[in-house]
Amino acid sequence: MRNTLWSITLFVFDIFLFVYGQSSTGGTTVQTQQGPVEGSIVTPGVRQFLGIPYATAKRWQAPQKPAKRSTTLDATSFGPSCPQSLTPITNEFLSLTGSGGQTTSESETCQTVNIWAPSTDRPQNTSVMIWIYGGSFAYGTTDFKYYIGENIVRDNDDVIVVSLNYRTNIFGQPNAPQLALSLTNSQNFGLLDQKAAIQWVSDNIAVFGGDPDRIIIFGESAGAISTDAYAYANPDDTIVKGIIQESGSLAGNSLLAPQAPESTVVSWTEVATSVGFADPLQLACMEIIPFQELENVVIALEATFAPVPDGITYFDDINERSAAGNFLKVPLLVGSNANEGDIFVVSLEVLELGGSIPGLTQEGSEDITEVCTNSDDNDNLTERYLKLLFNCPASITAAGRVDADVPTYRYRYEAIFPDVTNNRPDLGAYHSSEIPIVFGTYNSSAFTEPPSDVEITLSTYVQSAWVAFARDPVNGLTNFGWPLYNPNTASIARLGSTDNQTGVVFGSSATFDVGCDSTEAELSLVEEVFALTSGF
């Protein structure tokens, strides 16, 4: 009888651990569906769990659920990053941001999530923000100083932050013709990784104190495009309740439209040829070559691998789908930065644009150099970047959601801080400069300039806005004082502008969207430079 009672007691205790994710360690031991994980108290009030596998996948195969464990997983350090394509121009970009790059090793066993959750003495059953990093689908990792979710959770109740690793470049979307013949599903393995991670979070976040019915996804650049791809690929999804897109979306123009399949077929063939493989055994050989060798060849060739239309995860008729309302109709916060393109042009100039970068025609080089150096030209290259690659897609995406009666908010980030720009006035409010403000990770910059009081106050405001949206995507920002976006009214939230450096003022589409109907000639010129800066 005593043994029976003891067994029942243990069974009830196991259920308690699974439901509440708590133990005598103060909530740092959590029972996931795959087994227990042990995190840490990273700062008073915040639990941190790093490197938890959400899936397993062999090279160029779809992710599968990870195996169950009988032992406790040590979740106190980041898992390895997925293989990266870090070209010289990408490294220059990262250097200009002061980010310092990743610190973990790389591995193809890289499908992990990281979770920052409030300690168990704080309110639980919180909203959940899942972060998807950018990097032009060529590189990216959660082991990145600006992406740490600790400060958001420390300074805001009712929120958990999750980040996920996903495959990029040739490992994430190879577009191999031989593989296409053997697959009935998608070759966009990075996008499949993202979906698997979102599903894992939905299945497990309750034990970390999160509410699986209040999950949003947010990302920047390629990460923002990924959130849009998710919305179009999963119109009937019930997991994601809101989306934040920072400087990226699918709609707008040909430069952000899905990539033509034949272009990455060429990249695949070039890489395969460079490592000495040819048909018919090409695929089998490419599957077993060490990933470091493939990675090095991709970097040396500056080969581009991006998601391609497959009718499953990525589509080539986004404008038509938008007009038909064929997407996930959840509230959207979308925006761009005031000087998105400046950092791209500076990176090119640092690497001596005129002749050191392969693939640029002499005529194109002369045209672009003239545009880059003509500071009096209001239609210069950086302005075109802003409009054609970021501002106009944000405008078109927002308008499409409004037309479908989706609660939509739009922002424009305008702040410039010395510790973010390293005192370089030519960078402005550049592409990705809002990230340390959103995450409150400005102190992580490699630059020596300290954050200003204005910067700290603006970061608190922006964080509060993002969290308000996460808590209640439908009404959170309205209650926060933001109007729903309307192309005909002053409803664009200008963050950190000279009119209010620590908060918000509202501007109109008529002011910022002029020039979105640019000519094909202008698109062609910017497209040539965009091809060179595909590592951003």
- Looking at residue 276, what is its pLDDT? 86
Is 129 in contact with 148 (CB distance < 8 Å)?
no
Is 185 in contact with 64 (CB distance < 8 Å)?
no
pLDDT-derived band at 89 (thresholds 50, 70, 90) equals confident
- DSSP string spanning 267-308? HHHHHHHHTT--TTSHHHHHHHS-HHHHHHHHHHHT------
Q: What is the mean pLDDT of residues 87-105?
A: 83
- The residues spanned by each domain of the chain are 27-408+512-532
Nearest partner of 98 among 530, 416, 533, 449, judged by Cα: 449
Report the distance separating Cα 144 and Cα 121, nearest Å.
28
User: Known catalytic residues?
Assistant: 221
- Looking at residue 471, what is its pLDDT? 98
At 204, list the tokens.
Answer: 């497990």
* pLDDT tens, position by position, 41-57: 999 999 999 999 999 99
Report the distance separating Cα 360 and Cα 435, nearest Å.
31
* pLDDT tens, position by position, 276-294: 887 756 888 899 999 999 9
* pLDDT tens, position by position, 468-510: 999 999 999 999 999 999 999 999 999 999 999 999 999 999 8
Burial of 312 (0-12, 13-18, 19+ CB in 10 A): middle
Q: What is the mean pLDDT of residues 297-319?
A: 91
DSSP letter assigned to residue 533: T
Is 134 in contact with 483 (CB distance < 8 Å)?
no
Is 218 in contact with 130 (CB distance < 8 Å)?
yes
Report the distance separating Cα 234 and Cα 314, nearest Å.
10
Q: Is the confidence at residue 383, as pLDDT, over 80?
A: no
Is 224 in contact with 134 (CB distance < 8 Å)?
yes
SS3 call for 151: helix
- Looking at residue 377, what is its pLDDT? 43
- Looking at residue 385, what is its pLDDT? 62
- Looking at residue 2, what is its pLDDT? 43
pLDDT-derived band at 382 (thresholds 50, 70, 90) equals low
- Looking at residue 522, what is its pLDDT? 46
- Looking at residue 258, what is its pLDDT? 45
Higher pLDDT, 421 or 24: 421
Does the reported pTM lie above 0.85? yes
CATH number of 27-408+512-532, picked from 3.40.50.1820, 3.30.460.80, 3.40.350.10, 3.30.420.480 = 3.40.50.1820
Residue 166, number of CB atoms within 10 A of its CB: 30
- Looking at residue 381, what is its pLDDT? 61
The alpha-carbon radius of gyration of the chain (Å, integer) is 23
Q: Is the confidence at residue 375, as pLDDT, over 60?
A: no
Nearest partner of 56 among 28, 74, 34, judged by Cα: 34
- Looking at residue 369, what is its pLDDT? 43
* pLDDT tens, position by position, 104-133: 799 999 999 999 999 999 999 999 999 999
Is 96 in contact with 427 (CB distance < 8 Å)?
yes
* pLDDT tens, position by position, 231-278: 999 999 999 999 999 999 987 433 444 455 555 568 898 999 998 887
Higher pLDDT, 534 or 99: 99
Residues with Cβ within 8 Å of 193's Cβ and at least 6 positions away in sequence, in order, are 55, 57, 63, 111, 164, 165, 166, 167, 172
- Looking at residue 122, what is its pLDDT? 97
Report the distance separating Cα 358 and Cα 71, nearest Å.
51
Q: 171-191 b/e with 16+ CB inside 10 Å = b?
A: bbbbbbebbeeeeeebbbbbb
At 369, list the tokens.
Answer: 């150099």
Q: 458-491 b/e with 16+ CB inside 10 Å = b?
A: bbbbbbebbbbbbbbbeebbeebebeebbbeeeb
Strand partners, 31: 36
Strand partners, 129: 161, 216
Is 193 in contact with 167 (CB distance < 8 Å)?
yes
Mean pLDDT of the chain: 85
Most confident option among 283-292, 299-308, 382-391, 459-468: 459-468
Least confident range of 200-209, 320-329, 473-482, 520-529: 520-529
- Residue 101 is which amino acid? G
Q: 26-61 b/e with 16+ CB inside 10 Å = b?
A: ebbbbbbebebbebbebeeebbbbbbbbbbebebbe
Q: What is the mean pLDDT of residues 442-467?
A: 95
Query: How many residues are listed for the chain in this entry?
Result: 536
Report the distance separating Cα 194 and Cα 111, nearest Å.
9
Which ranges of 374-513 would DSSP assign to H, the alpha helix? 381-384, 392-403, 418-421, 435-439, 453-471, 476-479, 509-512
Report the distance separating Cα 525 and Cα 298, nearest Å.
25
- DSSP string spanning 130-147? EEE--STTT---S--GGG
Higher pLDDT, 531 or 279: 279
Least confident range of 15-24, 423-432, 474-483, 489-498: 15-24
